[in-house]
Structures are given as C-alpha cells and as structure tokens.
Amino acid sequence: MIESREITLHGHRVSYLTGGEGPVLVLVHGIAGTSGAWRDVLPGLAERFTVLAPDLVGHGQSAKPRGDYSLGAYASGIRDLMVALGHGEATFVGHSLGGGVAMQLAYQFPERCERLVLVSSGGLGREVHLLLRSAALPGSEYVLPALAAPAVLRTGAAIGSFLGRLGLKPGPDLAEFARGYGSLGDVETRQAFMQTLRAVIEPGGQRVSARDRLYLAAEVPTLIVCGTRDRIIPARHARRAHAEVPGSYFLEIPDAGHFPQLDRPREVVEAIVKFVDSTEPAHPGPDRLRTRLLEGPGGRARPAATSGAPG
C-alpha cells in the first residue's frame, strides 16, 4: 500500500510517497513535477521493494523556501530524508531533472548508492526542448504568471493544442506538462521553478553535464531507459550515455515519450526488477574510487600530485 506522508527537515515540510518492503528504491521526479510522476509504477515496485518518492523541495506538497535549488542541494536533501527515515543505501531512480539529481547523489554520496536507473535523464547532452529553453530566457518569470493564470488554465484544450504544436507526444507528455504549468500559479512555486530551471538550463540548452564523470559509473550498476518519441530530451543522449558507461544496461521503449513510466509502466517495472535481481549493489571503497579518479576517462593511471617542491 502506497501512503502519502510528511516530515520536517531543516524547518521545511517534505512530502513523500512510500510503501512496500525490501531493498530501497528512491524515485526522483523531474522539474515542475511531483512524486505523482511515478504513480503508475509505484504499486508494482512496492511488491518487491521499499519505495520512497519525495516531492522535491520547491515542488508539489513540499515547502518552497527561498534557497539553493541546485542539483547538489537536491542531492543533499534526499540524503537527509533517507537518514531521517532510517534508510542506509538505495537504488536511485531519476526521471529527467531527477536523473541529474540521481547522478549527483551517486557522486556526492557513493556510499549510499547501490545502483542507478536513469529514465529520460537530463545531464547527458546539450539539447533540450524549446519550451524549457524559452523559460530560461531573461524576463520569462514575468510571462509565466500570465500562462499559469486560472483563466488560461481553464482553457485546457487550447493549452493542449499549443503544446501539441511544439511537438509534445499526446498522452502523458501533454498531460504532465500541462499539470506542471498549472502548478506555477503561486509565487513561491514559480520562484522555485525558475531557480531550479536556471541552475540546469540556459537559452542555448542544458548547462549541466555529467558526461565528463560518467566513467565513475563503472563502479555502479546502471540502467538507462528512454522512449523513442521523447521530444523533450533526445533519445540519442541515452544511447550515447549507454556507450560511455562501462557495463551499463539499456532499454529503449518504442513509441514512448518523455514519461516511459507512464506510457509503458509494466515494461519499466519489469526492467527495474530484472535489473536489480541481476546485479550486485555497488560498494566502491575509497581506494577503488581513488584509482578511478587517477585513471580518468581514458582508463590509464596517472601519478597523483604531490605537495611541496621537488627535493
């Protein structure tokens, strides 16, 4: 049974969905989304795992304070939530922006990351949909209130038509983006959205990339999932990441859009279950991590720098 709960961390409300028993899965949603982005896969996953799906701070029912909305801050917030709830290690499952957060979690707190699952993940290439690049333009914060006004949101057909003309796939993609726009009606949510967006996206595309550190994922079992009809983040980003992450697993779902977990939930659940069952959790020690860092992407060890002048 999936339950909605709340906890207070650092004086701020954090809302989350949880349920099930077994190894822990932490599911991280995308920008302007909520834990509801996982609604169709949570029941199936809870049959095998303890699932934890938070509303990121600044999103959904969680608090929307002024503060840091960087990937590092989100990663630290999820680590704190895990500690507060008594969870040690987990498989991190991230969608879109949440994929970037999941990779940041694995980088900042490798001792807590057993596996990585990246679903339509950001942070793997420059290109991103015009809709998000436009929202990063200077002055867009003054346009968003008009787009999210109740009178505009009531004309759902018009919004759907507009998003459809921008190439979004009918179904979950359109519905989730319309829902995301609808959440921007209050000032606090809008400010959190803009701070989050501009931390990772600029008018020219994604400004944050994990590609220079993907070689470190060789120590972590990684599953990369994408839909062939994703118009938000090109599927070629996922294909290229699969080629660059040694030993990674890859699932490309035909005809799915940016939300494979809503387009084809059964396939996503089956893929995650099979992935966890067929891999051992990562336990990269400090010596192994040091070796990887010294080897670098090319895999050839370099001498560590020493302090002081040569004798």
How confident is the model over 94-132, as pLDDT tens digits? 999 999 999 999 999 999 999 999 999 999 999 998 888
The parent domain of residue 214 ranges over: 3-126+208-294
Q: What is the pLDDT of residue 305?
A: 35
Q: What is the pLDDT of residue 64?
A: 96
Q: Is 64 within a domain?
A: yes
Q: Which residues are catalytic?
A: 96, 230, 258
Please give the angle made by the CA atoms of 244, 100 and 14, to the nearest 5 degrees.
Answer: 155
Q: What is the pLDDT of residue 216?
A: 80
Q: Is 270 within a domain?
A: yes
Q: Is 280 within a domain?
A: yes
Q: Is 247 left (phi over 0), alpha (psi -120 to 50) or beta?
A: left
Q: What is the pLDDT of residue 73?
A: 97
Q: Is 190 within a domain?
A: no
Q: Is 191 within a domain?
A: no
Q: What is the DSSP string of 157-173?
A: HHHHHHHHHTTPPTTHH
Residue 158's Cβ-count burial label (10 Å; 0-12, 13-18, 19+) is exposed
**Alpha helical stretches, state H, 10-51:** 42-46
Q: What is the pLDDT of residue 169?
A: 57
How many angstroms separate the Cα of 284 from the Cα of each of 79, 113, 173, 265, 288? 18, 9, 37, 31, 6
Q: What is the pLDDT of residue 172?
A: 81
Q: What is the pLDDT of residue 153?
A: 45
Please give the angle made by the CA atoms of 85, 88 and 92, to the nearest 5 degrees.
Answer: 95
Neighbours of 298 (CB within 10 A): 8
CATH assignment at residue 93: 3.40.50.1820
Question: For residues 175 and 183, is the Cβ–Cβ distance under 8 A?
Answer: no
Q: Could you identify the residue written with the tokens 């949510």?
A: 189
Q: What is the pLDDT of residue 160?
A: 52
Q: Is 157 within a domain?
A: no
What's the total number of domains in the chain? 1
pLDDT < 70 positions in the chain:
141-170, 284, 299-311
Query: Rounded to an integer, what distance in angstroms lies between the CA atom of residue 104 and that of residue 74?
Result: 9
Q: Is 118 within a domain?
A: yes
Q: Is 188 within a domain?
A: no
